[in-house]
Amino acid sequence: MLSFLLRRIAAVLPVLLVVSLVVFLILRLAPGDPAAAIAGNNATNEDIAQIRTQLGLDSSIPVQYGIWIGRVLQGDLGYSFYLSKPVTELIAQRIEPTLALAVGTVILAVLIAVPLGTLAAWRLGGWLDRLLSGFSVAGFSIPVFVIGYLLIYLFAIRLEWLPVQGYKSLLGPAGAGPWAWMRQLILPWMTLAMIYVALIARVTRASVSEALTEDYIRTARAKGLTERAVLLHHALVNAAVPIVTVIGIGIALLIGGVVVTETVFAIPGLGSLTVDAVLNRDFPVIQGLVLLFSVSYVMVNLLVDLSYLFLDPRIRY
């Protein structure tokens, strides 16, 4: 297993190198000039040229890439063109809200979806199963921002239970405190969890219902085990591999969902940082974020693969 782990971690490096090169090239070849965006409406061509030189954008693309990747290898992701701050500092400032949103969403989705899907599989065709099917269709088809606005209208505007927008850090001297921190995240969690509940519950239902038709389930029931024990200790455990896989995929897909949710709830996370950077052609920030997202994606996949070892003893690497 150790050699598998080392091999997988070693495989991350070429992946990141390719990602960095592709992103770098796409950004440089795409239309749009950060210098023109920075210079503003009043600028002349001369102003733009001056800014291009200052940002180092007048060097050739291979030279620019060489300088950038050299710095990345030393842990320096560069400086934002706009904010004159290190990209690492910007990411550090924004990572907490995004992590809070993403981790909370996954936990909420798993806590709701897995029991729901398991129960639906247990009573296939029953009211809960039909309810889940309806909910899944809604969860997949209603856009995240519509769900967000509806929840804001109900819980923030009508009932005044929860705040409309914003994020205050849990940590630090100006931290919001645990309850205030949670209050501001409840609506974003609910909004973003909707689609993942639909996704995970559907897969859980399918996986558990298939497991329930297996011989070992009949044997377990014949042994006189309770239905709860059959479901939890036999069906769910054996159905866990596809469920964990879909949760892993869900975490990767969260990146897109987070952007919309952060916009609707004005949460200053990595999603809004990405959107701003793309709109302003802030190349160093985009490159840094794509690298971060790539590392996260690869790590989540690795963790999912490793979890198979614990969920299914037959799997060996």
Partner 1 sequence: MKRRFLLTAATVLGLSWLSPAMAQTPPNKVFRFVPHANLTVLDPIWTTAYVTRNHAYMIYDTLFSEDAKGAIKPQMVDSYQVSKDELTWTFKLRAGLEFHDGKPVTSTDVVASLKRWATRDAMGGILTTFITAYETPDANTFKIVLNQPCGIMLDSLGKASSNVPFIMPARIAATPGAEQIKEHIGSGPFVFKADEFKPGALVVYTRNAKYKSRSEAPSGVAGGHPVNFDRVEWVIIRDPQTQFNALKAGEVDMIEQPSFEQYETLKKTEGVKVEDFFPAGLQFIMRFNHLHAPFNNVKIRQAAMVAMGQQAYINTQVGVPELGRLCRSMYPCGTAYGDEDTGYFTGVANPAKAKQMLQEAGYDGTPVLLMRPTDLASIAKLPLVAKQQLEAAGFKVDFQQMDWATLLARRAKKDSPANGGWSAFLTAWTAGDISTPLTMQMFNAKGQNGWFGWQDEPRLEYLKNRFARTVDPKEKKKIASEIQRVAFETATHAPLGQYQSPSAMRNNVSGVLQTPGIPVMWNIKKN
Cα separation, 272 vs 274, whole angstroms: 5
Cα separation, 75 vs 246, whole angstroms: 32
Residues 45-64 that bind partner 1 (CB under 8 A): 45-48, 50-51, 54
The closest of 60, 20, 47, 55 to 280, measured between CA atoms, is 55
39 touches partner 1 by CB under 8 A: yes
Residues 202-221 that bind partner 1 (CB under 8 A): none
The one-letter amino acid code at 286 reads I
Cβ-based nearer residue to partner 1, 51 or 208: 51
Cα separation, 207 vs 201, whole angstroms: 10
The residue to which tokens 């996954």 are assigned: 106
Residues 114-143 that bind partner 1 (CB under 8 A): none
CB 305 within 8 A of CB 249: no
Least distance in angstroms from the C-beta of 55 to partner 1: 10
Number of residues located near partner 1, criterion CB under 8 A: 56
Describe the chain by its helix, strand, coil percentages, rounded to 5: 75, 0, 25
**Considering only residues 12, 69, 83, 299, which one is a binding residue for partner 1 as defined by CB under 8 A?**
83
Alpha helices in 30-143 (DSSP H): 34-39, 45-55, 61-73, 87-122, 127-141
**Considering only residues 1, 10, 31, 215, which one is a binding residue for partner 1 as defined by CB under 8 A?**
31
Cβ-based nearer residue to partner 1, 46 or 215: 46
Residues 86-105 that bind partner 1 (CB under 8 A): 90, 93-94
CB 129 within 8 A of CB 120: yes
149 touches partner 1 by CB under 8 A: yes
108-123 burial, b at 16+ Cβ within 10 Å, e below that, comes to bbbebbbebbbbbbbe
Cα separation, 272 vs 260, whole angstroms: 8
279 touches partner 1 by CB under 8 A: yes
Least distance in angstroms from the C-beta of 301 to partner 1: 29
Residue 240 has, within 13 A of its CA and on its CB side, a CA count of: 16
Mark the segment that binds partner 1 (CB under 8 A) among 10-18, 28-36, 105-113, 201-209.
28-36
Mark the segment that binds partner 1 (CB under 8 A) among 57-65, 81-89, 125-133, 247-255.
81-89
86: which strand partners? 79
- Binding pattern to partner 1, positions 253-272, x when CB under 8 A? ----------xxxx-x---x
Cβ-based nearer residue to partner 1, 248 or 271: 271
Least distance in angstroms from the C-beta of 288 to partner 1: 14
**Considering only residues 281, 283, 291, 304, which one is a binding residue for partner 1 as defined by CB under 8 A?**
281
Here the tokens at position 302 are 């690795």
Where does this chain bind partner 1 (CB under 8 A)?
31-34, 36-48, 50-51, 54, 82-85, 90, 93-94, 149, 152-153, 156-157, 160, 163-167, 174-180, 263-266, 268, 272-273, 276, 279-281
